[in-house]
Structure 1
């Protein structure tokens, strides 16, 4: 029989592949098996009481997790070099849990102006609940600092913004939040923990839509929150008295688990957790391949006379190119571009053969859509203008196709235009 692995000095991919083997795997399974039970029983009532009151580890009701989900949480924690993680049904469920369980009426949130459309919609809901929100150009920490008020409790940014790929001043904002004692939340979905760890810039909480880079195969929804262990929860006014017991380092996730999973019910299923865990094993391989293809296609499009502008951090003319090159191992699979002929946006997409016209991101297949007409339509032209989203903007998520084939397809579609 082989010895139990320790993982102390493993590299990123080795850790992902063997993460579940660091704990017990029932019956010698190669992968952590599916635990489909909703309830979990105990030999005595006193044992169950200890689990309910947080005095002992264990499972009671699947809404707050299962052994299969716990194995994925441990894997995500290792990826992000965090203290602990919680998994949710979707990335939006994870973000919603952060905002609604750690903020209350009268609190103030500073958010990047350049954020995912659904997150923007959620923030409108928060404002209706009495939580003030200020949007700031997060590419410069000074803009975030100018937006801070005495009621500010949290700053929220994305690493690489969807869809225009702006890169936040992650280091500067981290230093600012540390100085002011603010909760610093970083959405790492586009970069992935392989290309970047927000903990390195002082993030308090890290969000990942597991559906995208980490799962990567478009076959399961999921989201995760990782506590990096850097934030002092003992001084945070948003922690309820019920969770102010024991080690303060665990207070934040304890409240997120009880309020975000138990109360709101945004639970990740064991089936989805299994898909995501297996998908995570190829994270580094997929990210390296898709980032390289995205770089090659971005360079091709940038040089084409029928393309007005390409937005990709790997290009030298990107406004935050130097920052992205310093912080990220690779520039990810996300890019956007505008055609010279603004009216050709939808027709151009229809001339392509390889990219699938779909709303998702981070899949094995390349995905494409007209931004203003679809995912950012609801917010209206004024808000789109504030975010720099032109009516002709096309978003592209690069998959695992050979870069040569993608370039040939885009070249043919461009030449076939008017």
Structure 2
């Protein structure tokens, strides 16, 4: 049995179909669930009876709790930045991360008054990578998506607010949304006079990187959904920072944003302030989620697998040669199964037959602890091979012992220098 199964695992005869990169549901169910503290967790799929979600940090984790999000969504609002990624910081100490959320909550309230259904990517201070934000958007499929920001860096004086909006390249709906956001937000803030600043990109435009794709990930990764980024004013300009610190001004800006979104959804108004697309691939490097640490959604679990005395002796000897523990080796075996399945041209895993299933109930038990992210890998592989978690641990362990004990290929024979024949 082991020889047949292991030969299948290491063969590379047909293209794999997303063994480790499946973003679709492995079974019917909700596209997104609300977890602790109302965080949104897109559902990756259900594998071996366990639900796998994309965590706040963008990691696959097992999570069985939460409540399914029900019903269609008109608008998703994304309060930009969060956690250690503060964004711009005003001279008055106002932090963009916090301001974006405050304004987004006000926009939500205004849109709900108008009768729209609204979801925020975050409702609290969270470290959340761009890819996770866009996973939420794609799972909800709203009629419009707006990422709310406040700018930094410009010093050129202006008679009008330096509002900027960015749209998806070559997308008419996204372009119209950006034009309306620019028009309404700049008009709302123009009711105040401060020494405004602006950059060359004041208006609505597309920022590109070669060959011709959107520089901003929140736009590039939400193609097919009308999306835009809005930068209301320059938080780095002290007079503007003082102005936007006032709650009544935050409300004015939020009402402008809500009006723009309403006009996009309810009218054919074109918007204004359009500029030609421009190439600028450079970004601040934020939004990657580097250093992001997830909360514990699911407690670690122990999975126990049984081995015969002979199997355990081989496993123990292999672990000793590798300088590792037996439980580490068992876990490494499961990850090796996934690695082999992800190789280009790898065979698509299929459920094993009754004769091929490993006997995982021998007299010598090995208990392996899996955290929430490791559990996701475990249940994915269990589902791929039609096994229980206990059995897939046994399959992975058998694979590692098999690979570790393959005979080494002999190296090239050493050549004897001419004139120096051996005795």
TM-score, length of structure 1 as denominator length? 0.21
Which of structures 1 and 2 has the bigger CA Rg?
Answer: 2
TM-score, length of structure 2 as denominator length? 0.20
Bigger strand share: 2
Bigger helix share: 1
